[in-house]
Structure formats: C-alpha cells, structure tokens
Structure 1
C-alpha cells in the first residue's frame, strides 16, 4: 500500500466515522436517506463531467490491472463517501454559510494537495470549478433534507426516489466489472475499452433505475407481476445488447447476477417508495 492508497483510504475512513457520528446524533433514517440521495446526485453529475467529458483522473492505486477502473474507484470514493457525508453533515445540523464556505475551502485545499502529490490529475477541470459546484451541491443537500423531512408525493416523490435508488443500482452494476471483469461494453464512445465500458455502464444503470422507479410506482399490479416484468426487462436488455455487439459477457454468472440485481433493486425501490410516502416518523413498512 503506497501514499496514493493511504490518502484515499484515509479520506474514506474519516468520512465513515463522520457518517456514524451524524447517524448517532440525528434521525438515522432521515440522515441516511439524505446521504444516499446526495450520493445519487453526485453520481449523475460525475457521469457527465467525469465519464463523458473526461474532466480529471484519480490515482488511488487500488485496482492494479486497469488504470481506468482504478480511477473510477477513486471517483466512487469521492462521490459515494466524502462529498455526500459532508453535504449531509451540513444539512442535518443546519450549518450556516460560514460552515459551507469553510468546507468548500477545505475541499479546494485537499484538491490542490492531491494535485501536488500527483495522486489526482486535471485535464480541463479547475479547482474553482469544484468550489462553484460544491456551493450548489451543499445547497441542494439542504433542500433535499428539508423535503425528506415530510411525506412526499407527485414529482418530488419520484425525483427523490430516483436519487436514492440509482446509486445502489449503479454501484452494484459497476463494482463487479471493476474487480472481476465479468463483462465489458463496446458502444463506440471512446477508443479505450475500459473507458467505453465505464461510460456506457452509466447510461445502463441510470436507465435501469428509471425502470425500477416506474415499475415500483405502478400500483394496480401484484408483486409477482412487477418482479416478473423487471427480471424479463433485464434479461431482454442483456440479450439485445449482446446481439448488437455492445455487451460482451465474459463469465457464466454474468446475466444471472444482473437479473438478481434487478430484482433486489426493485425490492429496495418499493421499500424506499413506501418510506417516502409515509414520512420520517415511520420506521417500517
């Protein structure tokens, strides 16, 4: 384990400790929903600026066999832990603008340090882009926390539900690809196979998450129909993508894993959907 790994793992450990503190000192349900929602929001932003616009690269030196996947792991560490935990902290404890400014300055300093240590690299991105983006990111966390503090209906229910379930879907979609090379995508967006896979995986999970939300919110159909349709959609998507040459499965369990994942995501989506309808005082379905 080198300096790169220690820096990223250190940030991750600090973030986990802070998340535990937030859960202990506040409504754990509301804190976790806000945290996961901010992970989802960060994933969407990162899909645009990192996956498709190639803004920067991370060097955590954890995944040795593929630098693109190693960089993606660094992006996940940032957007699934460090930034959403900080945003949740600011929102849950209702910190004022001075706190927000301090956190933005702190992350600008960390970004500068990572650049100086050559464990992170800019292409066209700038530190002040991060600072401006974090201002909106932290303000959105306060908005999300406020909305999650009551029962949700209509568009806000759908929007928040999507933000919460999409990172669950996305992480479990891509992590096996990074560590086990069970599949790759050949969509033609990038010449580098791993980069192309990373970009198309974002399109896949964002689209799949929308399907889970839509199926979960269709009330007249019984559960067995919803699960059957979800599994069939994933199976059909896999066959179609394989037939047109976009998806290349490399292990026998690949298709079965993603069918099982789709069913698990639907279960999680329906649970969160009912929780958002009922509001913060409900601790069970």
Structure 2
C-alpha cells in the first residue's frame, strides 16, 4: 500500500464526519465550522513548537518531492483535519468520558500503526505524549465550547476568530511560500532551508493575522481601516525586502502579499460578520440590554 493512502483516507473520513456533524446541526453550522478552525489554529501553534522548532517527529506520506514539505503535508492532515474534527465531534455531542477514552485510544492505535509502518517517525516524541495532550485538549475544548456556545463575550469571539483565521492564512501562506516559493521569509536558524522558511513565514503570518482579526472584528464596515492595514503591511514588507528579510521570486511578486491580505480580510470578514456579531454589534446589544 502506498504511503499516501492512509493519510488521504484519514483526512477524507474526518471531512465526511465534519460534513455529517454540520448537516445534522444546521442551526449552528457556522459555529461548528468556526470552532473546528479555531481548534486547528491552536493545533498549528502546538505543532509549530514541537514539530517545526523542536523536530519532534516526521511524517512520510510520500506525496511531495521535498521531504520537509511532505512531512508538513502529513502534519496538516493530522492537525487541520483528524484531531480537530474529532475534538469538534466530542464537544458538539457532549460525549461522556468512556467514549472520549475510546477515541483517544483509537488515535493511540493509529499512531502506533503509523510508526511501525514507517508512515511516521518519532525523534524524541512518544505516542503516550499524544494521548496525554489529546486529553488536555479535549478538556480545554469542552470548556471553550461552553463559552462559545452560550452568548460569548467579545474576548471569546476575538480569540476564536484569530485562531480560526490563522488556520486559513497559515495554510495558504505555506502554499504560496514553501510550495510555490513566490516569496520566502527565512529565519536563518535551521540548516534545512524549507524548515527555516516555514519557521520564519509562520511568525510573520501570525502577526498579519492578528491585524486581520482587529480589522474584521472591530472595524469591518469601515473600509478605510482595511485599506490602511494593507498599506501598513505593505510598508513593512517593502522595508523587509530592502533589509533582505523578505525575498521575492520575481519583483512582480511584490503584489502577492498585499493581495493575500486583501483576500483574507474581505472573504474572512464577510464569512464571519454574516454569521457572528462584531464588537460594535455586541456593544450595542449590551447597551440595549442595559
């Protein structure tokens, strides 16, 4: 069996499960999707620390020719789909401890099989670490879901939006930077050039995502703030190019990041504000309630 088959199969099964959850809970479908992206965003932070910075393990889906990008793709299949969707299923259906234990045990068995089948390679990581952190993730996710489900305040919504947006922006930026190499932001810390540019790019994209979130949540209807944010980021990027921090494949690629910022703010803002209140609406609601 080809290495890519288990990775693709698990991702497809997870996506099908998410579709079923959303279809059966249409009254809160947007909330479920945002929560899934939120959990994925948190998983990306965790993965950045242990996988990118500290080289915990390597995935071997054998889909991409570049070994490190191939490993990152395997990571995405786990941290964007399998784990977050399983956690979303747990919290939406309020599963009891016994069923949660079965799901955690299933992940342990899958990881063990992946390891023995050379689909996945531990460096210093252990399978029981995964089980431990899954349990912690479920506990924290259940608590956050309660806050998010029942008339959440602006802090909960802002944080949820930030991590949800970061899932999308980091994934797209990985394609633009690491796969297509339209631009790169090397960290100059790791010997592996792909690992190094992924590490550097992620830091910058988290920064830009924070600004996206500020605009979408606090000033979405004021278009000048979106424009000012893009111009501000463009100014930073011009400076980064001059200092050799941001490298472009061709000069015309200077427009890639501004277009990327524009797309995330417009599309992300439309999707969020179509289903959830922004800060102004929450404030008005509070005043009316008072």
Q: Distance in 1 between matches of 2:221 and 2:21?
A: 38
Aligned to 1:232: 231
Larger deviation, residues 186-195 vs 236-245: 236-245
| 1:38 maps onto 2:32 in alignment | no
Q: Secondary structure at the match of 1:181?
A: coil
Q: 1:140-199 CA deviation, whole Å, 9 max, x = no partner?
A: 222232222233333222211212211111111112234322222322121221110111
State the partner residue of 2:68: 68
Distance 1:216 1:33, change over 3 A: closer
- Measured in 1, the distance between the counterparts of 2:243 and 2:124 equals 34
Higher relative contact order (CA 8 A, sep 6+): 1
Q: CA deviation at 1:61?
A: 0.9
The 1:31–1:116 alpha-carbon spacing in structure 2 relative to 1, beyond 3 Å, is same
Give how far 1:274 is off: 6.7
Give runs of aligned pairs for residues 201-212 of structure 1, distance below 5 A.
201-212=201-212
**What SS does structure 2 have at the residue aligned with 1:87?**
helix
Task: Provide the C-alpha distance between the structure 1 equivalents of 2:178 and 2:12, rounded to a whole number of angstroms.
Answer: 21
Which position in structure 2 is the counterpart of 1:245?
Answer: 244
Separation of aligned partners in 2, 1:169 and 1:43: 11
Q: Which runs of 5+ in 1 are unaligned?
A: 279-285
Task: Report the counterpart of residue 138 of structure 2 in structure 1.
Answer: 138
Instruction: Give the conservation status (yes or no) of the 8 Å contact 1:39–1:80.
Output: yes
SS of the equivalent of 1:231 reads helix
Give distance in 1, aligned partners of 2:156 and 2:92. Answer: 19
Structure 2 CA distance, aligned partners of 1:259 and 1:152? 32
Task: Count the aligned residue pairs.
Answer: 275
Q: What is the CA–CA distance in structure 2 between the aligned matches of 1:180 and 1:146, rounded to whole Å?
A: 40
2: CA distance, partners of 1:9 / 1:44:
23
TM-score by length of 2: 0.88
Instruction: State how 1:168-183 maps to structure 2 within 5 Å.
Output: 168-183=168-183
| Distance in 2, Cα, partners of 1:22 & 1:207 | 32
TM-score (norm 1): 0.90
**Deviation of the 1:269 alpha carbon:** 4.4
Deviates more, 1:12-21 or 1:176-185: 176-185
Given that residues 37 and 160 in structure 1 are in contact (C-alpha distance below 8 angstroms), is that contact kept between their aligned partners in structure 2?
yes
**Structure 1 position 52 matched with structure 2 position 53:** yes
What CA distance in whole angstroms lies between the structure 2 residues aligned with 1:12 and 1:103?
A: 16
- Cα separation, 1, equivalents of 2:223 and 2:155: 26
Distance 2:236 2:120 in 1: 36
How far, CA to CA, are the matches of 1:78 and 1:175 in structure 2? Answer: 17
Deviations along 1:62-108, one digit per CA (max 9) or x if unpaired, are 111x1111111111111111111101111111111111111111111
